[in-house]
Amino acid sequence: MKRPNLNQKVSVINGTEVIHRRIPILLTVSIVILLMIILFVIGMMIGYGILHSPMDVFKPSTWTHLLKLTGSES
């Protein structure tokens, strides 16, 4: 069994050692998802900014043009 760090809080429940997380798992997952979204937006700006203005990626006209090119417009 993995030995806990001295900084971690350990309690015993029904004879089982429980190690409490310093940062809750839900907060960790939320931070990871937020970072993924931020990096996705930065990547779109860099990718679109090679040929055009990076801020044009947020214009609706850019996305309607892209949908017309791919034939995805209904």
What integer pLDDT is reported at residue 43 of this predicted model?
A: 95
What integer pLDDT is reported at residue 59 of this predicted model?
A: 93
What DSSP string describes the chain? -PPPPTTSEEEEETTEEEEEPSS-HHHHHHHHHHHHHHHHHHHHHHHHHTTS-GGGGGSHHHHHHHHHHHT---
What integer pLDDT is reported at residue 72 of this predicted model?
A: 80
What integer pLDDT is reported at residue 19 of this predicted model?
A: 81
What integer pLDDT is reported at residue 37 of this predicted model?
A: 97
- Per-residue pLDDT tens, the chain, 74 aa: give them: 566 565 677 888 888 888 878 788 999 999 999 999 999 999 999 999 998 899 999 999 998 988 899 988 65
